[in-house]
Amino acid sequence: MLEQYDLGNMMVLDIETVPQYPSHDMVPEHLQHLWDAKTQYQRKEEPAETFYERAGIWAEFGKIVCISVGIFLNGKKTGLRVKSYAGDDEKELLEDFSRMLSSQPASIILCAHNGKEFDFPYICRRMLINGVQFPPHLQIAGKKPWEINHLDTMELWKFGDYKSYTSLSLLTAIFDIPTPKDDIDGSQVGHVYWVEKDLPRICTYCQKDVVATAQLLRKYRGEPLIEEECITVVG
């Protein structure tokens, strides 16, 4: 499976997002009303105030604090080089990421777990909101599906089945890939950012997701996992 792809022409990525404000009562009043209306069906009986801790899921009410990327390195042994773009200034983060991506070949394939439903559209929406120019790899308007160089490891696992969501944690478990959830998980990122103010911890978590996704690609291809000593985190 996936033998037609050159891993050297692929970039694996993952993003971490948080609510735009530390708490619901700090959200501007007009946005509070819009938040309440946007989430009324998802939160059911839960108050909008406590449900706000999940606001990072929505690009309209969240922001990106980290984008981690990984590229495969060819050699006697396959390697992986991982780098993160992170910070409190989302626009600066997105501009740095956009410049990096614009410098890559137009043919490069972007890969993420659930990327087509979350990571790719979220990045595009936040770039638009922040006035950041899209790199060519994210300019998908008007393109046919087969013209878009995006790969999604969750979509690949579906094999045409549209009914299920399969987490990266579950897939790493069944393929015996070291789990990226050995410290925090996605539901805790907002707390770690706003309360603990520990952005490096979030970056580490994001980088682990990139490594896990890259390892999953290797398993999909029937190849051995990348050895730990061949994985390098830079920056």
> pLDDT tens-digit profile of 13-29?
999 999 999 999 999 99
Locate the domains of the chain by residue range: 7-20+61-234
- pLDDT reported for residue 141: 86
Kindly report the CATH number that applies to the domain delimited by 7-20+61-234: 3.30.420.10
Mean pLDDT for the stretch of residues 213-223: 96
Greatest C-alpha distance within the chain: 58
Alpha-carbon radius of gyration of the chain: 18
Is pLDDT at 180 greater than 70 in this prediction? no
